[in-house]
Structures are given as structure tokens and as C-alpha cells.
Amino acid sequence: MDSNSKVRLFSDFTDAYLKWEGDIAKRALECMRIQYPLWLEPVEPDDLCAGRGEFDDELGFTPQALVNKFCYYFDEEKAERLLADASLSDECRCRFAEIAAFWKTEDSACKLRKSYSSAVSSLLPSDDWKGEAGCAFPLYRMSGTQLDYDKLLRLGIPGLKQELSRFADERPECRKYYEDAAAELDYVTEVMRWYAGSLRGSENENLNTIAGILDALCCRAPETMREAIQLSYLYCQLAGSLNFGRMDEYLGDFLAMDIEAGRLDRELAINMIGRYWKLIEKRGRVYDSRLTIGGKGRRNEKNADRFALYAIEAIRQVRCVAPQVTLRFYSGQNPELADAAMAAIAEGCTFPMLYNDDVNIPSVASAFGVSNEEAVGYIPFGCGEYTLYHRSVGTPSGVINLMQILLEVLKRRSYDSYEDLWQAYVSEIGKYMAVLAEQEICEYRFAGAAAPFHLIGILYDDCLERAAAVFDGGVRHLGGTVESYGGTNAADSLVVIRNFLFDSAIMTQGEMVRILETDFTGNEVFRQKCLSMPKYGNDDDIADDIKTAVDRAVCEAAIDSGKKVGLDSYLVVFINNDANTVLGHYTGASPDGRHSGLPLANGNAPSGGCDRKGLTALLNSMLKPSTRIHAGAVQNLKLSGRMFSDGCLLKTRALLDTYFASGGAQLMITVVNRGDLEDAMLHPENYGNLIVRVGGFSARFIELGRDVQEEILSRTLY
């Protein structure tokens, strides 16, 4: 869309926003109807289905924009560029200047910040976590929704509308709610007709087929796997959701029917799934795009398993960095799934990621405070945060840097004993956690008051029964999560602090602080002493006990803070994207021997290169922190290809089986050889397909920043 047309669209968008100020449902609907021709992209000739698009424009409405923004979002940087666009007419430039001035303060994140209490404002003074040092930051998004795609595909758009009519008849006092929800379904139909109209009569057979599918889906529920993919993909996009639920369950029956009817065979089906992977990958949401296969609680296990096996085969054939395919497994599950997963991993695929139901179900039950039956529906989204499938939301709306907090505590005053320092540290974590939890509930309230997000609520349990919008009392379990980084560095640092300042008392606190402030300059001998102290990741009880205690302290602080603000759960996630590297830039030298500016440890892993006692020691360490007090901890493991050679494969399987049987919740395995990585840094052109898991997402190695590449190289390769 050219810049002048874009401005006219933003003008209409702004007018609608003002016109419908008193009716948030109508306002959201009209804004969505105005914006879709902008953000939805044309169908490419070889696309499997229609609906590509990304919220990366100057202005828009979505639960989660590409930048750190939500609801009615306005991207000032982009707006400035548009304003300077030479192709803008004078009239459009003037209009856009007005629009920009309006949205500068009307942007939802901006308005949310204004609603903060003084405590939140003072402890979370900035949201620029990628550009400033800080202990904690807010994140603005309603992310991690996992819709009931099974219901969507069973009923189709017409069936969902009928359901809403029934509700409206039964509860006339809530008629407006149901009619508003139905109007959002009409919006879905409108978009399908718009797409179909643009494709119908095309010379390209594939595009014509898509047009036919879209026409059919306006009138009935899907009947084939391709129709089911089209509807679920487009609905997910229009709802502003970024994750794809338990795909093997909701597509498994369609696959079985297609095969039964002779419409598909194994190869055609895998090819279709592979094309779907490519479409998801093209959207570029590598931190999200999570889908789950396998695990307990699928209503159609046999058909779902078949889809799951084809899905893994499609990963092997397509080698993409998204979707983030996640395999849930339990003892007694069809072993073909785990075998196929291991074969894919051995070939260098970073998917599927492995999640152990036998551990995760009771852990989620404990952490979320729900029954085991309900916890069967746990599902990771994004970088690995757990939610309950179409029953809970748990958007990560905060970041906490545990290393930075420890440094501040260390600098603040002197301590009489280690216990004194520890209590001060725990108390400081609690202080930040309290405002992060308050921020989280503020954000939910804001979103609930800003828009109903009916397309999400229609596919969430309880919303229709309660006639309540998802973020306004509709969702059964209103949870929240907080991304925690630097815990391993803090734990390793506490080992050093306890020994050097108290047990051995070889230096004063002031001396340690001074050395850290100069980034060990002229004190390499001291830094080596720091490095030589016990480190998490070596099955060393001294270090592992402190890591466990730090984890527990931060998790319990979150749980307590969540209760105080009235969240059904508020849980830490030890996930990773590249935030460990980004936050590390602004975190000073730490007593564990880490230089200022270097990355913090990744997820729940040891600091890079600090695990030196072998793979079993590493796994044993990773097993020690409790899995029952948080909403997910990323466990990355880099293994060399040698571990999957004929001579070692059975041993490697036994190793992983033992880890899982001993309480291991998850693993994200990257099979790679150090030489590949080093050579890829020198000759990126030769390594386009080298995929490495960086924490909770996967990316092509050569596309990562040099500092991230170096951080990966620094992690121990087994």
C-alpha cells in the first residue's frame, strides 16, 4: 500500500476510534475492519492458504504488536519515517502529523503507564529493556493465547454463529455481548470473502483452489485438512493469536478422513504440512508460532499420533526455524513419536522440543493450583511459558534481572553475615516482584477495558457462558508470568560472596565492589579465583543448593505477589530468547567472574563453559531446582553429532530417558559440531541451514548477532 493510501487508512482508523469511543466492541470491530487491507498480505502463488500478515505498521489494533506495544498501538519511530516520506502529499502529511500527535498520548502502552501507581512508576521507570540497565521492566502484550481450534473446526464460522444465537436467546439480558461477538465472526467472513474475491479467476490453479476453500468456509465447517488449516490459520491471525494449540488433535481427524477418502496419501500429507510450516515461518514470529503434538489428554490419540508423525517428518524435510514444534510425551505413549523425534534431532533439526508429561502435569497442577485433570491441558507457548489450553492466559508482562538486583544489593550497604545479605536480596526481589505483579494486573484491566477481543473469547472456555470478555472476567484462569534472567549468575555469585566475604573472609565487601566496578581491571588474579569457585552445572551441592534457593526465592516472591493483586497465578518463567545476551550488555561485572557486558546464563543452564564435569553432572544439576513452582524453565542442551552415531545412540537415549525418569521436565536439544559453528562465523555463506536453538527459539546461526554467536560457542558442547 502506498504511503498516501496508508495515511488515509490511518485517518479512517483514528476517526472510527473517536467515533465509537463509548462502545469498545464496536470501536475494536470498526478499527479491525479498516486496518485489515493494510496488514494482511496478498497470497503468494505457492502459499498453502491465505492470511499472511504482520502488525508492523505505524498504527494498529492487536493484542500484541511486533514492537513492545499492545491494543491500540502507535510506533513513533516508524511514524517519523512515514512523515518524512517524500511521496506524501501535503494534505496527507498534514493529516498524518495530526494523527501522530493524537496517538502519541493515546497509544495504549502510554496510557497504561499513566495509570501506574507511584510504586510501579518508581520501580519500573523505563520499558526500554533493550537499551538501558535496570532491575525490572514491563512488557506490553496480551500474548500466549491458545485457542480452542478443535471447537472452531468442528463448528466452522456458521456453527459458531449459531452457538452465539442460542446463547443470546437463552440470555437476552446479555444479547449485546453475543451480538458483538457474532459481529467479529462476520468480520472473519468478510475477510474470507475479500481474499476469495482477490483470488477468484486467477490463472494460478493453487490460488483458485484457495478461493474455493474460502468461499466454502463462509458457509460451512471445514471438511478436509486443507480447509481446516485455512480456517485455523486465518482465524489465529485475525484473533491476534500467535500460537497454534494442540495441532495433532485438531487436524488429526481431518488427516485420517482425507487418507480414508483417497484425497491424500502419506507423501501428499507431509508435503502439505511442510508447506504449512513454510507459511508459518515466513511470518517471522520465531519467539512464538508454537504448536504442540503428542501427550496426554488428546481425544483422538490414534489419528493425532499419525498427524504428529507426519509433522515431525515435515520438519525433517523443510528444516525451518518456525513453527516451534513441541512434542509432549508420557510413559506409555506410542514410542514411534519419540523415535521419530530423536531421528529428527540427530539430523540437526532443533525441533521437536521435548516435554515430559509425567513431570509437567503434576508440576503445572501444583504451580497453577489446579487439579491434575485440568493440568493435562498444559501447553507451552512462545519461548516455553505454560498455560492451560483455552482455559488460561498467562502473558509475560515483565522482565526481572536477578543479577542486576544482586549487584545493587551488594553496593547498597554492608552486611554482617551471609544470612543478612541473603535476606536483603530476597527482600529486594520481593519488592520488584510486587510491582511487576501489580503492573501485570493493571495491563489486564487496561486490555479488558480497551476491547473485548471476542475472537479470542469465542474459543476460550467460560467466556460465552459468563458473557464476559476474555480479559474482563471471561477467562477461567487469569494468570500471569514474569521472565526471569540472571538467576544462574546470581547463584554462582552468591557462592563466591559467601566464601570470600564471610566464610573465609579474605576480603571486604568494599574491596569486592570496587573490583567489580572496575570490571576486574588489574585484578585478573581475583577474577580467576572467582571462576575457580563451585559453579552450578557440575552436580556440586554447594553451587546447586544456592541455585535452587535463588530459584525458590524468586518463584515464591512471584506467587505471593500474584496472590496479593488477585491473579489466579503469577509465575516465573526461566525462558530465553536472546534476552540473556541483551540484558547482559547492561549488567556490570559479577562476582561469579563474569566480565561487565557479557551475556547472562541462558534459561536454566549453567553459565557458558562453567559446566565441566560431564553431561550426567550437568543433567543432575538441572534436575535439582523444583519444577513445581514456576511456569516453565528452558533446558537447552548442545550435543555433538557423535552422540547420535551408531555406537552411541542407545547410550544417548538411555541418558535422556534417565534424565526424564528422574524428574526432567523438558529438553531442547541442538545437535551441532563446534567446528560447524566456528566455520559458520567465518563463512556464513556456507551455513544458511545451520539452525541453532537459542533459548526458547530457534534461528539460523548466521543470522544471529556476533555476541549471541559467541555466547552459543561458549556453552559447553557434549
Q: Return the number of the residue (414 or 528) whose C-beta is nearest other proteins.
A: 528
Q: Return the number of the residue (43 or 589) whose C-beta is nearest other proteins.
A: 589
x-or-dash string of contact with other proteins, 569-608, rule CB under 8 A:
----------------------------------------
Determine if 662 is a binding residue for other proteins (CB under 8 A).
Answer: yes
Which region, judged by CB under 8 A, interacts with other proteins, from 206-214, 346-354, 469-477, 645-653?
645-653
Q: Return the number of the residue (583 or 639) whose C-beta is nearest other proteins.
A: 639
Q: Give the Cβ contact number of residue 302 at 10 Å.
A: 11
Which region, judged by CB under 8 A, interacts with other proteins, from 93-101, 117-125, 578-586, 655-663?
655-663
- Would you say how long the chain is, in residues? 718
What nine digits make up the cell of 607?
553459565
Q: Return the number of the residue (450 or 667) whose C-beta is nearest other proteins.
A: 667
User: Least Å distance between CB 530 and other proteins?
Assistant: 9
Which region, judged by CB under 8 A, interacts with other proteins, from 25-33, 306-314, 653-661, 707-715?
653-661
Determine if 654 is a binding residue for other proteins (CB under 8 A).
Answer: yes
- Cα separation, 64 vs 120, in Å, equals 22
Q: DSSP assignment of 559-583, as one string?
A: HHHHHHHT-SEEEEEB--SSHHHHH
Judged by CB under 8 A, which of 617, 681, 702, 717 binds other proteins? 617
Determine if 655 is a binding residue for other proteins (CB under 8 A).
Answer: yes
User: Least Å distance between CB 498 and other proteins?
Assistant: 18
Angle of helix 402-412 relative to helix 418-450, nearest 10 degrees? 130
Q: Return the number of the residue (552 or 613) whose C-beta is nearest other proteins.
A: 613
Q: Tell me how many residues contact other proteins (CB under 8 A).
A: 25
- Give the SS3 label for residue 609: coil
- Cα separation, 259 vs 419, in Å, equals 65
User: Least Å distance between CB 623 and other proteins?
Assistant: 10
User: Least Å distance between CB 610 and other proteins?
Assistant: 13
Is the CB of residue 482 less than 8 Å from the CB of residue 396?
yes
Determine if 427 is a binding residue for other proteins (CB under 8 A).
Answer: no
User: Least Å distance between CB 501 and other proteins?
Assistant: 17
Q: Return the number of the residue (142 or 623) whose C-beta is nearest other proteins.
A: 623
Q: Return the number of the residue (407 or 618) whose C-beta is nearest other proteins.
A: 618
- Cα separation, 583 vs 558, in Å, equals 20
Judged by CB under 8 A, which of 423, 616, 686, 689 binds other proteins? 616
Closest CA to 65 of 285, 384, 393, 325: 285
Determine if 81 is a binding residue for other proteins (CB under 8 A).
Answer: no
Closest CA to 401 of 326, 503, 482: 482
Q: DSSP assignment of 85-107, as one string?
A: -TTS-HHHHHHHHHHHHHHHHHS
Angle of helix 509-517 relative to helix 402-412, nearest 10 degrees? 130
Determine if 346 is a binding residue for other proteins (CB under 8 A).
Answer: no
Q: Give me the amino acid identity at 465.
A: E
Determine if 661 is a binding residue for other proteins (CB under 8 A).
Answer: yes
Is the CB of residue 475 less than 8 Å from the CB of residue 392?
yes
User: Least Å distance between CB 393 and other proteins?
Assistant: 38
User: Least Å distance between CB 361 and other proteins?
Assistant: 21
Q: Give the Cβ contact number of residue 449 at 10 Å.
A: 13
Judged by CB under 8 A, which of 650, 675, 685, 706 binds other proteins? 650
The bridge status of strand 385-388 relative to strand 324-329 is unpaired
Which region, judged by CB under 8 A, interacts with other proteins, from 399-407, 609-617, 670-678, 709-717?
609-617
- Give the SS3 label for residue 305: helix
Judged by CB under 8 A, which of 23, 46, 657, 678 binds other proteins? 657
Determine if 615 is a binding residue for other proteins (CB under 8 A).
Answer: yes
Q: Return the number of the residue (201 or 332) whose C-beta is nearest other proteins.
A: 332
x-or-dash string of contact with other proteins, 509-548, rule CB under 8 A:
---------------xxx-xx--x------x---------
Judged by CB under 8 A, which of 302, 651, 674, 683 binds other proteins? 651
Residue 527: burial class (beta carbons within 10 Å; 0-12, 13-18, 19+) = buried
Determine if 507 is a binding residue for other proteins (CB under 8 A).
Answer: no
Q: Return the number of the residue (424 or 615) whose C-beta is nearest other proteins.
A: 615
Is the CB of residue 666 less than 8 Å from the CB of residue 644?
no
- Give the SS3 label for residue 669: strand
Q: Give the Cβ contact number of residue 6 at 10 Å.
A: 19
Phi, psi (degrees; rounded to nearest 5) at 388: -100, 125
Determine if 640 is a binding residue for other proteins (CB under 8 A).
Answer: no
Residue 566: burial class (beta carbons within 10 Å; 0-12, 13-18, 19+) = exposed
- Cα separation, 315 vs 478, in Å, equals 34
Which residues on adjacent β-strands are paired with residue 353?
Answer: 326
User: Least Å distance between CB 685 and other proteins?
Assistant: 28
Interface positions with other proteins (CB under 8 A): 524-526, 528-529, 532, 539, 613-617, 620, 643, 647-648, 650-651, 654-655, 657-658, 661-662, 718
